[in-house]
Chains A and B, each alone.
Chain A
Amino acid sequence: MSTKEGLRIRLSLTRPDFALQVDLDLPSTGITVLYGASGSGKTSLLRCVAGLERPADALVRVGRDLWHDDARGVYVPTWRRDLGYVFQEASLFEHLSVQENLSYGLNRSRKAGAAQALLRAIELLGIGHLTRRHPGSLSGGERQRVAIARALANQPSLLLLDEPLASLDMARRQEILPWLESMRDELYIPMLYVTHSADEVARLADHLVLLAGGCVKAHGPAQDVLARVDSPVIVGEDAGVLLYGRVLRRDTQWHLSEVGFPGGALWVRDTHLAVGQQVRLRVLARDISITIHETQDTSIQNHLKARVETIVDDVHPSQALVRLRCGESVLLARVTKRAVSALNLSAGKAVWAQIKSVAVIE
């Protein structure tokens, strides 16, 4: 990544009950997820990037655009920053129709082809049938899709999303996630996405920044950060890894697909994926068990040869998190400490990982 291309954020923000200290170099493509508990500073970080909050000593640069540099006395106000912002709650202008909301930014844009960009955003988010309606008559999911399209209409050089799904129920989230995924795949706009949902991290993150207590605890490609055990990013029931793979073949008799990834292959539920298609697999630590010898008389279909890398304590004192090396990939397994002792597991030991279930994402 060239330093002139990416996203550079260095800032410190001090509030009476809170301090944020961040120094990040982020890629200029894909979705960067800012993940952390509430109060970790992720929303403040986003607001500082947008200029809605003014940090004390800061450097914010998006590609070649310098937005904030106290060393050089540069501070661009929010309305002159080339960005789109999606707020947590649907924040449509209640006094304007959906169409007027969508074209609000457009009317203030000097960019060529902005009208085309809006049409594409309307199509991408499937809201063409809503334009004559009034915000008050839309469902929560529809409102948020309109808000996203409105932010996209200006073809921003950076899209900021502050927990865009947090105010929605499960069904509405499932309704919007595919739109976000298609945005990631079809638009070349870098996005900063704030969330505290492990599910959204697994589905959307290309790059992951873990925030806690106003500091960056870890950041890097999502796959690497999620597989860390020294400071597990996602603890508890949601701990697990991401694998990027490709569909190798389909078994139509049993409705299964085989997905190859660097280090092995897994049989997953056939969701009408085409052979050759790229997929993301999410394997949770609680769905992996470890055996010393390969067992054939088991209902579990996926067995991978692996090697123990490290073993660390899990949240509960009875459990341990085992990091397994499987070719170029890494798996996390949650087992009891009694099992670690009984199987005499230690770093370097060759084992078999039995994988009970795999979630196929996209």
Chain B
Amino acid sequence: MNIPLNHEAWEAIALTLELAASTTMILLVVATPLAWWLSQTQSRWRAPISALATLPLVLPPSVLGFYLLVAMGPQGPLGQLTQALGWGVLSFTFTGLLIGSVIFSLPFAVQPVQHAFESMGQRPMEVAFTLGAGPLDAFFSVALPLARPGLITAAILSFSHTVGEFGVVLMIGGNIPGSTRVVSTQIYGHVEAMEYAQAHWLAGCMLVFSFAVLLALSMMRKRVGRVLP
């Protein structure tokens, strides 16, 4: 059978995967220290920072995308900064899209990790301290391994949420083939152009792929869960 996925479709799929994988990796690095801070601090900044980190969860993607577009545009503060640094304007580029995706999925990465840190309580860290481990050592040898189920959940949610995003992409990415056109916007384009066959194939691929990724990850998590009661 001839699969009618043209060059453009493959390009969109590759771009989507690249975006989702990069977003997930950046988020794990950014969200873990943030989640740790939120789970430990008694600072009065905790509540506002926590609310800020949760904001993308309730904000319509188009609103988030709009503000990012304005900020990253030639006149926006972020845009001025990137121009001053010689990086040019980031809106309608893959980097701009990546920044948008990271912010858009931030709560999906922070919350499971924060929950994992909070539910382990102070005790494991205290035990590590009494055994001669300093804070950084204890964090990497005790807190992080114990939070593994939370980290895996964060990775699954960040990845799938990025694959599924549409509003933010459309606002700050535009729809430039090979640069910012991901599967979701590609499908939208096919539907707009009444190319239902292509839209069907791409949507079907997306469905099967998403399901397979989630199934694989949740099976992995189950196995990890068995090792870590």
Interface residues of A (CB under 8 A from B): 50-52, 77-80, 83-85, 87, 91, 93-95, 104-105, 108-109, 136, 150-151, 154
> Which of B2-10, B75-83, B104-112, B121-129 contacts its partner?
B121-129
Q: Which residues of B contact A (CB under 8 A)?
A: 123-124, 126-135, 137-138, 141-142, 145-146, 148, 228-229
Q: Which residue of B lies closest to A160 (CB)?
A: B130
Given A87-B123, A108-B137, A95-B130 contact (CB < 8 Å): no
A108 to B133, CA, bound (A): 7
Give Cα distance in the complex from A254 to B131, angstroms: 51
Beyond A94-B146, A136-B229, whether A50 also contacts B130 by CB under 8 A is yes
Classify the secondary structure of B's interface with A.
helix
Cα distance A79–B125 in the bound complex, in angstroms: 11
Which chain A positions have C-beta within 8 A of B145?
A: 95
A83–B131 Cα distance when bound, in Å, is 8
For residue B132, which residues in chain A have a CB less than 8 angstroms away from its CB?
Answer: 79-80, 105, 108-109, 154
| Chain A residues in 8 Å Cβ range of B133 | 79, 104, 108
A85 touches B127 (CB 8 A): yes
Minimum CB–CB distance for B149 against chain A, Å: 11
A77 vs B130: C-alpha distance when bound (angstroms) = 10
The 9 A-B pairs with the shortest beta carbon distances in the complex, nearest first, are: A105-B131, A85-B130, A108-B132, A78-B129, A95-B145, A136-B229, A79-B129, A91-B127, A79-B134
Q: What A residues does B124 contact at CB under 8 A?
A: 91, 93
Write the chain A residue with the least CB distance to B129. Answer: A78
Q: How far is the CA of A77 from the CA of B136 in the complex (A)?
A: 13
User: A79 to chain B: which residues have CB within 8 Å?
Assistant: 128-135, 138
CA distance A147 to B126 in the complex (A): 13
**Among B129, B131, B135, B228, which residue has its beta carbon within 8 angstroms of that of A94?**
B228
Q: State the Cβ distance, B126 to closest chain A Cβ, in Å.
A: 5
Task: Please name the residue on chain A nearest to B122 by beta carbon.
Answer: A52
Smallest CB gap from B126: residue in A: A52
> How far does the Cβ of A120 sit from chain B's closest Cβ, in whole Å?
17
Asked if A104 contacts B131 (CB within 8 A), the reply is yes
A93 to B134, CA, bound (A): 16
| B229 and A84 within 8 A (CB) | no
| Chain B residues within 8 Å of A51, by CB | 129
Specify which of B123, B131, B135 is in contact with A108 (CB 8 Å cutoff).
B131
Residues of chain B lying within 8 A (CB to CB) of residue A83: 130
Taken together as a complex, chains A and B put the C-alpha atoms of A80 and B146 apart, in Å, by 24
* Given A87-B127, A93-B124, A105-B131, 19 other A-B residues pairs in contact with their CB atoms under 8 A: A78-B129, A79-B129, A79-B130, A79-B134, A79-B138, A80-B132, A84-B130, A85-B126, A91-B127, A93-B128, A93-B146, A95-B142, A95-B146, A95-B148, A104-B133, A104-B141, A105-B132, A108-B133, A154-B132
Compute how far the CA of A80 lies from the CA of B132 in the bound complex, rounded to whole angstroms.
6
Cα distance, A94 to B224, chains bound together (Å):
12
Bound Cα distance from A79 to B142, whole angstroms: 14
Q: Would you call A93 and B142 a contact (CB within 8 A)?
A: yes
A77–B146 CB distance below 8 A: no
Q: How far apart sit A85 and B129, CA to CA, in the bound complex (Å)? A: 10
Chain A residues, Cβ within 8 Å of B129: 51-52, 77-79
A-B contact pairs, 6 of them (CB 8 A): A79-B128, A79-B138, A87-B127, A104-B131, A151-B130, A154-B132
- Shortest Cβ distance from A86 into B: residue: B130
A96, B110: Cα distance in complex, Å: 25
Residues of B within 8 A of A95 (CB): 142, 145-146, 148, 228
Q: How far is the CB of A86 from chain B (nearest CB, A)?
A: 9
Taking CB atoms, residues of chain B closer than 8 Å to A50 are 130
Chain A residue numbers with a CB within 8 Å of B142 are 93, 95
Query: Residue of A at shortest CB range from B123?
Result: A91
> Bound complex: CA of A80 vs CA of B135, how far in Å?
11
**When chains A and B are docked, how far (Å) is the Cα of A146 from the Cα of B22?**
43
Does A94 contact B130, Cβ atoms closer than 8 Å?
no
State the Cβ distance, A256 to closest chain B Cβ, in Å: 46
A80-B137 Cα distance, complex, nearest whole Å: 13
